[in-house]
Structure 1
Amino acid sequence: MAAFDDQRVLITGAAGGLGRRLALHFAREGARLIAWDVDHIGLQALQDELSAFPAPHTVHAVDLTDRAAVYATARAVLDAHGRIDVLVHNAGVVSGQPLLETPDEAIERTFAVNTLALYWTTKAFLPAMIEHGRGHVVTIASAGGLVGTARMTDYCASKFAAVGFDEALRLEARRLGYPITTTVVCPFYIDTGMFAGVRTRFPRLLPILHPEYVARQVVRAVRKRRRRLILPRFVYAVFPLRLLPPAPFDALLDVFGISRSMDTFRPGDGARGHR
């Protein structure tokens, strides 16, 4: 039996990039995919790819910035499938501009997709997980949710919130006895087009990650019920470095090129679309 045989896995931002690869990997392991995205064309292409797998799959065009649409689509999913076993919060957007050059609307959209959508989708599907006695909530955050970066004040803040969301939900589930597992994923930059042009000063320590590799690691982490996945391992150095005062901490970020990593960023469709 495949690891996710007949399990219902819902992925947001599934039409392209990491989300598409996650969908295909879960499908290979027997999951029944429910794919959400705002990209109608990408969803149709994904549906065609998923037809190669025996389990039934469905796609839903939904704008995560529209709370009413999220709840309505979630109700339709629950009516059709009864429950969701694995909920993967993957959708994300980035502006990639200095704060004073970032339009208010872009900041609001960043938080609507990267942060607030976590609440609406989890609130929609968590009760059925609890009733079923099992569930898994996966939050694809970012290394930018562990350390700030220039030109990403909105993105990093939204991902810090995503990391906090996962941690608080994990503790809340433990305190209230919810039979669910949570996993937070914090990868460095992924080569999906969302961060086109970004550079890394030390590619052996902080490589630009291949989406296929990240997708495999995420599915493996869910299979093993890991609580946290950080890629690459060097990013774990952030935790002890946090004990330093701000001045030496900032100096080390300069040494490793973190502070300038977005200087060559090229905003475009990948930045506006989902991860």
Structure 2
Amino acid sequence: MNFFLEILQFIVLLVYYLLESLVFLVVPGRKKNVSGEIVLITGAGSGIGRLLAVKFASLGATVVLWDINQEGLNCTVRLARENGADRVHSYVCDCSKRQDIYRVADQVKKEVGDVNILINNAGVVIGKRFLDSPDSLVEKTMEVNIMANFWTYKAFLPAMVAANHGHLVSIASCAALCGANKLSDYCASKFAAVGFAESIDMEMKSLRKTGVKTTIVCPYVINTGMFDGVKSKWPHVLPILDPEYVAERIISAVRQNQEILFIPRIAYVLYFLRSFLPVKAGGLLLQFFGNFDIMNNFKGRPKKE
């Protein structure tokens, strides 16, 4: 009897969630208020991290900014304050070092309070073929792009669980959905980031901590300088993304508790197609959309002397 009840419950909930998602496609859900929340953003000294900091600050949140670059942090703090923010805290933190993350996390908890919204945004990319990638840089990619997520969660998730209130945001990439030439380490780290975030979400649901939300963001290439030189093979279909647009979409997704965000929307279609196509057909699809040669003109951010 229990078996049939479980099946019935599964079918009812499945239909309900499908209808709910269709409704939200037409009528967006109510956006939650983030005023007064403590939002910590890694990699906040430039790019998407900087834009998210300014936008969250303008919504009344207390923003905590982490970056390895003091000059970049200073610029973000100034921009946030110019946009009316008065609760901005910045810390130099090397997200490739576990002990540095724990040290600065303790400092944040003492000086600012418990983090309510954690945004793991810091990232690095090599952009070389696997056999040409130095071991030290491969390790750095994994340390910053995925291992830092483990240590920030360890530092800030306990308070969220205790309060049954919080939000975990992982800025991953469309590189987390398929492999790409000259991005073996980057793809591996982003695949791992998505799997890690989904697993923690499952743990929260298992613990009945429904107040701890998760948002996984998978954008295509963003015009922030990190992937400077990269060009889209089909710019009208898969455009290089405007940072302001991406930041707005992320803010909106977080405020609506959206669990998965692909940018642009065609990424949902391509991900769906690849899920059932034969392997060779899937490979052909990736080749057609430029995954073989997307990094051919890659330069990346210029290194400071």
Normalising TM by the smaller chain, what interval?
A: over 0.9
The AA in structure 1 aligned to 2:53 is A
Instruction: Name the structure 2 match of 1:62.
Output: 93
Q: Is the 8 A contact 2:174 2:220 kept in 1?
A: yes
After superposition, what is the alpha-carbon deviation per residue over 1:227-256, rounded to whole angstroms, capped at 9, x for unaligned? 010000111122331222221111111112
Distance 2:301 2:53 in 1: 24
2:73 is the alignment partner of 1:43: yes
Instruction: Name the structure 1 match of 2:51.
Output: 21
Q: Which has the higher contact order (CA 8 A, sep 6+)?
A: 1
Instruction: Name the structure 1 match of 2:265.
Output: 233
Q: Is the 8 A contact 1:6 1:55 kept in 2?
A: no
After superposition, what is the alpha-carbon deviation per residue over 1:196-234, rounded to whole angstroms, capped at 9, x for unaligned? 111111112101001110000000000101001000011
- What's the secondary structure of 1:15's corresponding residue? coil
The AA in structure 2 aligned to 1:103 is P
- What's the secondary structure of 1:58's corresponding residue? strand
The AA in structure 2 aligned to 1:248 is A
Q: Is the 8 A contact 2:225 2:300 kept in 1?
A: no
Match of 2:234 among 182, 202, 216: 202
Deviates most, 248-257 or 8-17 = 248-257
- What's the secondary structure of 2:276's corresponding residue? coil
Distance 2:290 2:221 in 1: 13
Q: Is the 8 A contact 2:58 2:85 kept in 1?
A: no
After superposition, what is the alpha-carbon deviation per residue over 1:103-123, rounded to whole angstroms, capped at 9, x for unaligned? 000100000000000000011
Instruction: Name the structure 1 match of 2:102.
Output: 71
Give the TM-score, by structure 2 length.
0.86
- What's the secondary structure of 2:248's corresponding residue? helix
Task: Give the superposition deviation at 1:152.
Answer: 0.2
Deviates most, 168-177 or 241-250 = 241-250
Number of aligned residue pairs: give it: 271
2:288 is the alignment partner of 1:255: yes
Distance 1:20 1:51 in 2: 12
Task: Give the superposition deviation at 1:133.
Answer: 2.4
2:115 is the alignment partner of 1:84: yes
2:188 is the alignment partner of 1:157: yes
Distance 1:90 1:43 in 2: 14
2:301 is the alignment partner of 1:265: no
2:264 is the alignment partner of 1:223: no
Q: Is the 8 A contact 1:31 1:55 kept in 2?
A: no
Structure 1: where are the runs of 5+ without partners? none
Identity of aligned residues (%): 41
Q: Computing the radius of gyration over CA atoms, which structure comes out larger, 1 or 2?
A: 2
Task: Give the superposition deviation at 1:55.
Answer: 3.4
* Dislocated runs of 4+, deviation >6 Å: none
2:34 is the alignment partner of 1:4: yes
Instruction: Name the structure 2 match of 1:140.
Output: 171
Task: Give the superposition deviation at 1:259.
Answer: 1.8
Instruction: Name the structure 1 match of 2:131.
Output: 100
Task: Give the superposition deviation at 1:3.
Answer: 2.9
Task: Give the superposition deviation at 1:269.
Answer: 3.1
Q: Is the 8 A contact 1:11 1:19 kept in 2?
A: yes
Match of 1:186 among 208, 211, 218: 218
Q: Is the 8 A contact 2:57 2:87 kept in 1?
A: no
Structure 2: where are the runs of 5+ without partners? 1-31
The AA in structure 2 aligned to 1:38 is I
The AA in structure 2 aligned to 1:172 is E
The AA in structure 1 aligned to 2:219 is P
Superposed, which structure 2 residues align to 1:94-133 within 5 Å?
A: 94-133=125-164
The AA in structure 2 aligned to 1:211 is P
Task: Give the superposition deviation at 1:6.
Answer: 1.0
Distance 1:268 1:175 in 2: 41
Taking only aligned residues, the RMSD between alpha carbons, in angstroms, comes to: 1.6
Distance 1:132 1:219 in 2: 23
Distance 2:124 2:260 in 1: 22
Q: Is the 8 A contact 1:200 1:258 kept in 2?
A: no
The AA in structure 1 aligned to 2:189 is S
